[in-house]
């Protein structure tokens, strides 16, 4: 209840939350909301502009753009949540071990994080996807495996701060195991920045997937994706502006919504910001 009151007070975060909820509802109820089959080809309706029959027009094969965008939202959410889930899992494990044990374990793990950060993430993803066969599963895995380093640093920093607190010392004094101290006492108190990072990470994953699909090495046609819809729009920019504008706006609004929600969560959950 307190959280909802704080969220309502933060207008930008509330706007971002509304966008995220609407996108989630649209993706879940895509079969109901979609007015046409997203893969149905109609040769007599090719490149029709927005009209009452096709609200957002049709593409170069006569497929309804609105229907494909609705189904494409499923791809975006699936990639965003699964990729971020992988990144959070790896980041929490690495950050927890480094922050709790310290010493040589911390040094080795953090140097590995530094090495991973030396590689430009997008070009590393391009290289891996070029080797592997482009598919949504490979994209989710690669994005997740190349975006966990920031989460690991956040978790490590929180563990270094919390492990010196009195309740952790009390748990050690009564003989609690390292596993119990990490997962029962420290980790629940270190999840606030992780939640913020996850929200912002979903936006980054959606943007990366769209970029890969736009370049032709992401989600492959005929599966609808906002990125590969942009590719079709690029090829017909002069005669069919709606093929680029509407998918581009969908990506913009979605990424902006997650970023606004993430910034709002940071303001609400970070006690150090409340003191200022």
pLDDT of residue 271: 54
- 72 has pLDDT over 50: yes
pLDDT of residue 190: 85
In this prediction, what percent of the chain has a pLDDT beyond 90?
26
Cα–Cα dist 170/16, whole Å: 40
Q: What is the chain's length?
A: 276
Q: What are phi and psi of 222, to 5 degrees?
A: -85, 5
pLDDT of residue 275: 46
pLDDT of residue 83: 92
113-155 pLDDT, tens digit each: 998 888 877 787 878 777 877 778 888 888 898 889 999 999 9
- 2 has pLDDT over 80: no
pLDDT of residue 91: 93
- 108 has pLDDT over 50: yes
pLDDT of residue 276: 45
pLDDT of residue 272: 55
Count of CB atoms within 10 A of residue 183's CB?
Answer: 13
Q: Which domains does the chain have, with CATH numbers?
A: 63-268 (1.10.3720.10)
Q: What is the DSSP string of 37-69?
A: -TT---GGGTTPPS-SSSTT-B-TTS-BHHHHH
Mean per-residue pLDDT over the chain, rounded:
86
227-251 pLDDT, tens digit each: 888 888 887 888 888 888 999 999 9
pLDDT of residue 70: 93
Q: Which of 137, 133, 140, 184 is nearest to 162 (CA)?
A: 184
186-237 pLDDT, tens digit each: 888 888 888 888 988 998 888 888 888 888 887 887 888 888 888 888 878 8
Cβ-contact 203, 258 below 8 angstroms: yes
167-180 pLDDT, tens digit each: 888 988 888 888 88
């Amino acid at each position: 209840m307190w959280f909802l009151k704080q969220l309502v007070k933060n207008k930008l975060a509330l706007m971002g939350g509304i966008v995220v909820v609407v996108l989630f509802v649209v993706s879940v109820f895509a079969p109901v909301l979609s007015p046409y089959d997203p893969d149905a080809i109609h040769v007599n309706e090719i490149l029709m502009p927005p009209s009452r029959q096709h609200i957002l027009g049709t593409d170069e094969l006569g497929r309804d753009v609105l229907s494909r965008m609705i189904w494409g939202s499923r791809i975006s959410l699936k990639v965003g949540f699964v990729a971020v889930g992988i990144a959070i899992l790896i980041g929490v494990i690495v950050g927890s071990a480094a922050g709790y044990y310290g010493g040589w374990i911390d040094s080795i793990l953090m140097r590995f994080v530094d090495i991973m950060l030396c590689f430009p993430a997008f070009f590393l993803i391009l290289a891996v996807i070029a080797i592997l066969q482009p598919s949504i599963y490979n994209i989710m895995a690669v994005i997740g495996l190349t975006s966990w380093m920031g989460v690991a640093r956040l978790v490590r920093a929180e563990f270094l701060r919390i492990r010196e607190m009195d309740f952790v010392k009390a748990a050690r004094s009564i003989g609690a195991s390292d596993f119990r101290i990490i997962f029962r006492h420290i980790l629940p108190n270190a999840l606030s920045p992780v939640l913020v990072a996850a929200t912002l990470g979903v936006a980054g994953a959606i943007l990366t997937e769209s970029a890969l699909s736009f370049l032709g090495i992401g989600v492959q046609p005929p599966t609808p994706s906002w990125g590969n819809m942009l590719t079709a729009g690029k090829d017909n920019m002069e005669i069919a502006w709606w093929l680029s504008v509407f998918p581009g706006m969908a990506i913009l609004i979605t990424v902006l919504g997650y970023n606004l929600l993430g910034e709002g969560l940071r303001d609400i959950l970070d006690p150090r910001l409340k003191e200022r």
